[in-house]
């Protein structure tokens, strides 16, 4: 019984130490995703005007619309 209490206490302490790391990781992933979206939007906007009319231009314009809808 004593061992169970010891392990329970140990697990709770580990969880308390890990919680800030998990929150930092979550914020990092959110900011990395936002940076990736901004980068892709900039790349598409830069190439879109140079493309000839066609399927590729339509695809790029559609992708840009999708990225503009992401918040």
Contact call for residues 51 and 57 (beta carbons, < 8 A): yes
Give the number of domains in the chain: 1
Q: What residues make up the domain containing 34?
A: 2-69
pLDDT of residue 9: 87
pTM: 0.59
CB 60 within 8 A of CB 45: no
Q: Report the pLDDT value the prediction gives residue 46, as an integer from 0 to 100.
A: 87
For 7-64, write each residue's pLDDT tens digit. Answer: 888 888 887 777 777 788 889 999 999 999 999 999 988 888 888 888 888 988 999 9
pLDDT class of 1 with cuts at 50, 70, 90: low
**Residue 71: which pLDDT band, with cuts at 50, 70 and 90?**
low
């Amino acid at each position: 019984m004593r061992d169970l209490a010891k392990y329970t206490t140990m697990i709770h302490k580990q969880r308390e130490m890990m919680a800030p790391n998990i929150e930092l990781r979550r914020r990092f992933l959110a900011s990395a995703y936002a940076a990736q979206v901004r980068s892709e939007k900039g790349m598409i906007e830069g190439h879109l005007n140079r493309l000839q009319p066609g399927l590729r231009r339509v695809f790029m314009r559609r992708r840009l619309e999708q990225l503009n809808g992401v918040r």
